[in-house]
Amino acid sequence: MSAAQGSLAWQATAKTFYEGHQATQHANSDDPQLQHNEVWGVLHPFSASVEPIELSKKVFAIGRSEENDFVLRGNKISGKHCTIQWNGQDDNTSFVMITDTSTNGTWIDGDRIYKDQFLLLKEGSEVVFGRHPTLPEVPELNYRYIYRHTAIPAPPGSLRTSYDIGYEIGRGSFSTVWSGISRSTGKWYAIKFIDTPKEVVDACAEDSESRDESRAKVVNYVREVGILEKLRHKNICQLEEVFYSEWKIFLEYVDGGDLWDYIHDRVCVDEATTGGIMFQAVDALAMCIFHRDLKPDNILLTSHEPPVVKIADFGLSKVVDNTTFLKTMCGTASYIAPEVLTQEKQEGYDHLVDSWSIGVTVYTMLTGNSPFVEDSSIEDLKSRIIARTIYWENLEEMEISKDADDFIRSLLQKLPIHRLSLSNARYHKWLVSFEHSQPEHETPRDPTARSALSETASDLQHELSVEKLLAGLDG
Query: Residue 44, SS3?
Result: strand
Q: What pLDDT is attached to residue 450?
A: 31
Give 320 or 278, the one with higher predicted confidence. 278
For residue 382, the one-letter residue type is K
Q: Around 90, how many Cα atoms within 13 Å sit in the side-chain half-sphere? A: 12
CATH class entry, domain 197-437: mainly alpha
| Cα–Cα distance, 168 to 149 (Å, whole number) | 19
What pLDDT digit, counting tens, does each position of 355-414 carry? 999 999 999 999 999 999 988 888 888 888 888 999 999 888 888 999 999 999 999 999
**All CATH 2.60.200.20 domain ranges in the chain, comma separated:** 3-152
Average pLDDT over residues 422-450: 71
| Cα–Cα distance, 155 to 370 (Å, whole number) | 50
Q: What pLDDT is attached to residue 11?
A: 46
Give 27 or 217, the one with higher predicted confidence. 217
Average pLDDT over residues 436-460: 45
pLDDT at 346 over 80: no
Report the candidate in 345, 325, 341, 321 with the shortest Cα–Cα distance to residue 383. Answer: 341
Q: What pLDDT is attached to residue 16?
A: 43
Give 185 or 244, the one with higher predicted confidence. 185
Average pLDDT over residues 153-178: 71
Least confident of 98-107, 145-154, 272-281: 145-154
Number of helices followed by number of strands (H, E) in the chain: 20, 20
Q: What pLDDT is attached to residue 94?
A: 86
Looking at the DSSP bridge assignments, the partners of residue 186 are none
Q: Which segments within 188-267 are labelled E, that is strand?
A: 188-194, 239-243, 248-252
What pLDDT digit, counting tens, does each position of 68-102 carry? 999 998 889 999 999 999 998 887 788 899 999 99
Q: What pLDDT is attached to residue 319?
A: 43
Query: Residue 129, SS3?
Result: strand
Known binder of ligand: residue 192?
yes
pLDDT at 276 over 90: yes
| Cα–Cα distance, 312 to 295 (Å, whole number) | 10
| Cα–Cα distance, 79 to 73 (Å, whole number) | 9
| Cα–Cα distance, 70 to 45 (Å, whole number) | 14
Residues 6+ apart with CB under 8 A from 95: 17, 18, 21, 86, 87, 89, 120
Looking at the DSSP bridge assignments, the partners of residue 63 are 71
Q: What pLDDT is attached to residue 456?
A: 36
| Cα–Cα distance, 25 to 23 (Å, whole number) | 5
Q: Where is mean pLDDT largest: 26-30, 215-219, 461-465?
A: 215-219
According to DSSP H, which parts of 231-336 are helical? 259-266, 271-285, 322-328, 330-333
With respect to CATH, is domain 3-152 assigned 3.40.50.300?
no
Mean of all residue pLDDT scores within the chain: 75
Task: Confirm if 298 and 311 have CB atoms less than 8 A apart.
Answer: yes
Active site residues: 293
Q: What pLDDT is attached to residue 367?
A: 94
Give 113 or 33, the one with higher predicted confidence. 113
Q: What pLDDT is attached to residue 464?
A: 43
Pick left, alpha or beta for residue 110 (phi over 0 → left; psi -120 to 50 → alpha; otherwise beta). left
Rounded (10°) angle between helices 402-411 and 352-367: 140
**All CATH 1.10.510.10 domain ranges in the chain, comma separated:** 197-437
pLDDT at 263 over 80: yes
pLDDT at 171 over 80: no
Q: What pLDDT is attached to residue 313?
A: 74
Least confident of 244-258, 307-321, 332-346: 307-321
